[in-house]
Structure 1
């Protein structure tokens, strides 16, 4: 799954989202022995007495409202289960379903054998733990198979969870699609089920739908029968049974306005979307890349794709970036549909990477599923890592594998350097409630997971890594596992190849998985001493979470010295000495080559000076990834008071010579922190002056190589850096740039049917023109947003509309986020965060969230707002005592209602704000003096 965030998430979102999957058979958890035992139905985990075998489910979604104005679905469900331990109690998940009562009971119990089942004594719904409770007068027999049958009505709501409806307009006509999002705990909202990942079963699905509509599910359609039911002409579509799988992977779609394009090689591949999107060719790119990526993973895992077809479907309303339902992967439209006339190269990369992420799950996550949600990271982190490999295979000229450094490693460093971070793996008993499960899908699980698995693959070597994966997937196919199972089989692969490691795979990885954070490695080239320390952005923050390893790691260190080949050492203790790292004269050491290790690097003063001199004299001697690393490490070490803030600023002085994307992006990401912290001070203007001085040569470079912006550079990352050049030049007041973007936008306003702006440059050009313009420019952008026929273009405009400096327009736009007819529920979080990122909108966005929190939290709910992303996005600018006070008051005012999936994000926001306050007070004078000197 890609968790979407203003990110699959993830990415994913991500996460995304993003955004995105997993679980097991367990005994009931008991409260502490000092209290009386809780009733089984008050526990959030299912007992281990019953194991589902298969479901027969028939669902009929109504795509027209009933007489009460509600959209509903009706259903019938039978689940066959085996009794493994004698019991007189059946617990099965059910949430927000109106179960039909027969003979005073909410379900019927029968047996597959000849013996009669025990009679039902009582049934009821346990709302808090989301159970249908069935108490029996007798006991179920061990080894016997039983059947629970139920009939029910559910609301086909627009809450983006369970079986829900998506609304959109095509040629002015309102369209309805019924679709699903079962992950992580929403299958129970669709039919009564054992809704835990380890409760794998086979699903026999039948969908009843109006004639002329399309019905899809995980399996291939095997029968379609037209008939009359309740006086309505319907089609009854039956699907082939699924493989034995977890309930969260079930997918259902019914729509009257969808079609597909098909590619049939060994596996049938279908790309589904709205009729017009398919007719306009917007599914072609996804179709062209899905087959090769699927083949890549078959070879990578050395395990055939286990299903008869692979459907990918683009949905107008979808909370996550995408979801890996087995055989029917669901996507936001922006993450599957590509229009070469409108989509940018970043859009294309995102589509390729997200397809790769979801297809990676077909094996790792779906074929073999982790037992419980406490190890979500291994599922999502793995898919995030190998998505770069799959996308690289599909688009080899992009060199996309390197971008994991910016998009995942550097991204998650910022979160994992907080005292309120958390380990990758948690204890099972700590993750039991639905909101606790949702909280696991964060940057730590996706991005840190990807980063440490990339490090693992590097020190094992990829052949050993994939050999272990193959054994894991083969041995545990259609089963559930725990993380230790993967470590054991990777260790077997290590043993077979004779690879020498300082500890076992599990011994090394436990230190990266079971304790939060990461080390900063300090190299003293005068003595050869190498040491490690737990890195914290605020070194004075208190780490209350205990560590089983006292915050020490087993660290693989790839390094080089000037003019020499790469070497590797292992740091096994707090401090060690390596004579080969002693340098003399002008020799420098560079540690963490290509950033394969999940750690930051600090050096003695002399080595820092030699590296900065090398950047200024001939920066290309240092690999491009490490140029980005030097900048990122320097700025974050400065924030942690390990090096002077002026050293960090000096690492950007060479940028006027730099043409590569990764170092520029690294620098801009870090200087953005300065912008956020000093928006309301004189430092902001000085920083803009400095950036303008540095970016003018880059702006001129791209103007030259594109022949006065008449075409785009051929290189993938060069196209990204062209966007950076225009964005920074315009935002820092380079007149040529502002004239350029405003001119493009004016031409478009004169001829709305002809947009002269290249797709790569639209987001930036729209933002710059709307920021420089007034109400007329904003209103035109809003009209184009409403008229956009492809979601990718709508997204560009949606973010650009937040760039205006007009407070009245920003307040109007914030109000639109609570009106689903103007801003889709799935996009509301993004719009609020976009506005918060605008210096003129920071206060407005925060006031809006405080005022409307209760409404958003209770009325919109988890399926609509990514509350963690909302809190993170709104508060990242906070750097004053008054903002901290407001944040603490916000926490207190809503403590009774709670914060759901944003609970950890709020705590991190408080910690970050405190650190920001200290950082600003300690560094403002020094930064000011340096910038004055550099821009004089």
Structure 2
């Protein structure tokens, strides 16, 4: 919709008066939810005298109500929604909310059917339809609830008139469940008192659980929200609190059904999608500041606010918002920016327009307890969500098949926003480790998928949830970073700015961005060899990425689709035959060369003579791996050993990551990859070390149950000894290193030294943990080191250490500290402790639902815990799936996490059997993860068979 869309004042007044007047009906609602819930949801709501139509019980038909997408016959314009969440259970122990909603919609094409989403809501009054034009509204013939497709189907005796507007009014009751979706409840204890929060998570398809709505991103409208709540609580929504005293009485505190409540009404929203709605009732505290008349507030548990845990988020939010205003060249479109930390939240954060919701670990920071990593997580996630306020909220994708554009873009520019807030961190470099290398591992599978799919391939809610994966976020970020690099940032931002200005308050497809970037290219001196769309469609519409091979003897450059197992074939055909237009930045013995474009499978270009070494993909701005002829590999290995500073630090990490993965694919020898780690004995930079440890972790997964483990431990221990000694001299383990990434590398030095048996490290860790156990009120362990120390101490200890950690976990009031302890308890070496811990994940009073799957994954990461976690998940699959699987964006991580160590034929058959045995239950958003796990296990089996003997020999005698 265009910028000029607005509500006529008469319609707005009518809607708000309707909402206010209809509260009398809410007062009169006498049907408790437990009774309504027991009714068959397939039954119709039967208006008096209406002719009813039974819900189809046969296979899905071509009828509109059996389709997953709404017909384009109706277009919503405005909603008036009034909700009353009950923060105390009813007589049956259920928490409920009551509500009424009216939606004004325009009839685009004449129809005798109104389809509107409604899920797990019970209508308590016959819906009514009112015409807002000159003609009367058709009579409702029947109303049918379709639970599978989550529609309320309203059949009319006559057709609606095209071009006319109508209003549909509903009253309903729903459960304020603890399922982390839609309108749900979060619980916590403060000073021994149980507190309940009513909050929301609408993305992607759960607004329909809060009120009947046209729940698709392209169905934008204006929303008027009113909340009834206890006077001791505060209500929040997307809009600011609205003074409507000239329409309503001045009273905001009224008695409803013998209950004294506060009525909070909010200003109408901008035109927006349903998935960006938010409304919350809590007794949270807040801190605030105003910047250029923009109100910025941080909400959290009062205890957390009093402890100053919101101060860091408040200090960076204004800086980041102002950065994005300049970056987009569009003013922040709202009068306020609220951010709230919730005790129970399934995602990391959600970009609801004007009211962003977070996990506590993603927003709250304690100077004494939180680590450097916690701080980085907070600033990058804040930047990610604030980036969405324009890219995603102001301009929104038309359908979820283009989710990558939303999330990939925010995942890229979060580094730019965070860099503005923390300019000394060099945080922009970390996208290579956090996103590019991370997603390479998934995108190298034949069961990967393109960034953008056809709309018809993404239909059902579980299919939509499945798209929220590493490909959409990290590959999206990686290819957009590449695009910005070869266009130049100036051209990229110019195209982005005109795109946002042109489509604000509207919906787009990804090619709309290409068109505006092309206009920017055409008006600049930038000269890519093909159009933006021609180049980028190859990165967006086909899965995977190329490995570019440079032969320095012949000057020949080739590209091939990189697959972890070259014997597999992609599940999807490609119209581009898995060829890409590849921008190659490169240097010849430290002399930067002009950007070179590889436009076909094979090209001849480079002429190298003598002993000059060549390095391609400088700073890993391109989304591809690089291979060389053997002579150039030897030259690079020699440079790493003798003058590593000649190679940029990012590329030192790249050489390791490329070599190990090329070896996994059988393209180069595994021993060559292992040799890229020899220089680490003198390396002190974080990125090369982290790259090496990430890749050696695969060797641990494959070999920590074999004879390779001992020699590998000896080798890694020898390499890390120099790093451990370096930080001992630099910090004496009492001080922080000066640099941001140096602090990360200090943690690596401690963690790896302890895990490989370094006695000095073990003594340090045991001493610190014992001191803490002796005096639980004083933790002597530095915040940055706690994760590593806790894990090492618990792994080396027994029941006493584990129980102490659990006690501290239960007492902790800082979410990041709870997370550290929760992960560390999975490091235990005693199987019975891990089995007990697994059982705790089924009890939300012990492990919150939001943390259950990640706790199981942590246990599975432990070589002792992996078979226990696998058995546990198989034995409890139905329960786990029903509790966490259906709508969880992170659920696929569980399947990948518990199977990543699989490398035997027996484990492969178990995995296949698990898939087959549970097909009737389903895997929800984990369907693709099952395929990927089977493919990865098959590749692991081949790799171990081909490499175990060679790897053993090399670790015994590294060359």
TM-fit CA distance, 1:858? 2.1
Partner of 1:773: 797
Distance 1:108-1:601 versus aligned 2 partners, 3 A rule: same
TM-fit CA distance, 1:866? 3.3
Residue 602 (structure 2) aligned to one of 539, 556, 575 = 575
What does 1:317-716 correspond to in 2, within 5 Å?
A: 317-578=344-605, 581-706=606-731, 708-716=732-740
Residue 291 (structure 1) aligned to one of 298, 318, 325 = 318
TM-fit CA distance, 1:863? 5.0
Inter-partner Cα distance in structure 2 for 1:463 and 1:859? 47
Inter-partner Cα distance in structure 2 for 1:147 and 1:537? 56
Inter-partner Cα distance in structure 1 for 2:60 and 2:482? 47
SS of 2:790 mapped into structure 1: helix
Inter-partner Cα distance in structure 2 for 1:37 and 1:139? 22
**Is the 8 Å Cα contact of residues 222 and 238 (structure 1) preserved in structure 2?**
yes
SS of 1:778 mapped into structure 2: helix
Inter-partner Cα distance in structure 1 for 2:458 and 2:567? 29
Partner of 1:830: 854
What does 1:891-906 correspond to in 2, within 5 Å?
A: 891-906=915-930
Partner of 1:28: none
Distance 1:478-1:562 versus aligned 2 partners, 3 A rule: same
- 2:227 corresponds to 1:207: yes
TM-fit CA distance, 1:726? 0.3
Partner of 1:27: none
Partner of 2:56: none
SS of 2:928 mapped into structure 1: helix
Partner of 1:139: 159
**Is the 8 Å Cα contact of residues 421 and 517 (structure 1) preserved in structure 2?**
yes
Distance 1:60-1:742 versus aligned 2 partners, 3 A rule: same
TM-fit CA distance, 1:366? 0.2
TM-fit CA distance, 1:859? 3.9
Unmatched 5+ stretches in structure 1: 1-34
Inter-partner Cα distance in structure 2 for 1:855 and 1:813? 17
Inter-partner Cα distance in structure 2 for 1:216 and 1:518? 44
Partner of 1:933: 957
Normalization by structure 2: what TM-score?
0.92
SS of 1:191 mapped into structure 2: coil
**Is the 8 Å Cα contact of residues 111 and 160 (structure 2) preserved in structure 1?**
yes
Inter-partner Cα distance in structure 2 for 1:36 and 1:409? 41
Superposed CA RMSD in Å reads 1.1
Residue 334 (structure 2) aligned to one of 307, 330, 334 = 307
SS of 2:530 mapped into structure 1: coil
What does 1:21-60 correspond to in 2, within 5 Å?
A: 38-60=62-84
**Is the 8 Å Cα contact of residues 590 and 646 (structure 2) preserved in structure 1?**
no
**Is the 8 Å Cα contact of residues 263 and 287 (structure 1) preserved in structure 2?**
no
Runs of 4+ in 1 over 4 A off after TM superposition: none
SS of 1:565 mapped into structure 2: strand
SS of 2:88 mapped into structure 1: coil
**Is the 8 Å Cα contact of residues 319 and 863 (structure 1) preserved in structure 2?**
no
Inter-partner Cα distance in structure 2 for 1:240 and 1:764? 48
Partner of 2:179: 159
SS of 1:458 mapped into structure 2: helix
Normalization by structure 1: what TM-score?
0.95
Inter-partner Cα distance in structure 2 for 1:182 and 1:860? 16
Inter-partner Cα distance in structure 2 for 1:101 and 1:303? 44
TM-fit CA distance, 1:680? 0.8
Distance 1:487-1:201 versus aligned 2 partners, 3 A rule: same
TM-fit CA distance, 1:875? 0.6
Partner of 1:20: none
Inter-partner Cα distance in structure 1 for 2:805 and 2:924? 35
Partner of 2:55: none
**Is the 8 Å Cα contact of residues 439 and 471 (structure 2) preserved in structure 1?**
yes
Partner of 2:864: 840
1:414-455: per-residue Cα shift (whole Å, max 9, x none)? Answer: 000000000000000111100000000000000000000000
TM-fit CA distance, 1:711? 0.5
1:872-904: per-residue Cα shift (whole Å, max 9, x none)? Answer: 111111001111010000001011221110000
Inter-partner Cα distance in structure 1 for 2:638 and 2:693? 21
Inter-partner Cα distance in structure 2 for 1:807 and 1:556? 51
Partner of 1:80: 104
**Is the 8 Å Cα contact of residues 261 and 278 (structure 1) preserved in structure 2?**
no
Partner of 2:834: 810
Residue 269 (structure 1) aligned to one of 296, 312, 315 = 296
TM-fit CA distance, 1:266? 3.2
**Is the 8 Å Cα contact of residues 465 and 888 (structure 2) preserved in structure 1?**
no
Partner of 2:343: 316
**Is the 8 Å Cα contact of residues 560 and 591 (structure 1) preserved in structure 2?**
yes
1:305-331: per-residue Cα shift (whole Å, max 9, x none)? Answer: 000100000000000000000000000
TM-fit CA distance, 1:604? 0.2
Partner of 1:17: none
Q: Quick check: 873-882 or 261-270, which moved more? A: 261-270
TM-fit CA distance, 1:865? 8.2
What does 1:227-238 correspond to in 2, within 5 Å?
A: 227-238=254-265
Unmatched 5+ stretches in structure 2: 1-58, 244-250
Inter-partner Cα distance in structure 2 for 1:886 and 1:153? 44
TM-fit CA distance, 1:543? 1.9
SS of 2:270 mapped into structure 1: coil
SS of 1:221 mapped into structure 2: coil
Inter-partner Cα distance in structure 2 for 1:718 and 1:37? 61
**Is the 8 Å Cα contact of residues 381 and 414 (structure 2) preserved in structure 1?**
yes
Residue 136 (structure 2) aligned to one of 101, 104, 116 = 116
SS of 1:52 mapped into structure 2: strand
Inter-partner Cα distance in structure 2 for 1:133 and 1:544? 37
TM-fit CA distance, 1:697? 0.5
TM-fit CA distance, 1:222? 1.6
SS of 1:532 mapped into structure 2: strand
TM-fit CA distance, 1:864? 6.1
1:476-499: per-residue Cα shift (whole Å, max 9, x none)? Answer: 000000011000000000001132
**Is the 8 Å Cα contact of residues 825 and 865 (structure 1) preserved in structure 2?**
no
Partner of 1:764: 788
Inter-partner Cα distance in structure 1 for 2:706 and 2:215? 53
Partner of 1:879: 903
SS of 1:148 mapped into structure 2: strand
1:204-224: per-residue Cα shift (whole Å, max 9, x none)? Answer: 000000111100000001247
TM-fit CA distance, 1:583? 2.0
Inter-partner Cα distance in structure 2 for 1:210 and 1:920? 62
Distance 1:262-1:563 versus aligned 2 partners, 3 A rule: closer
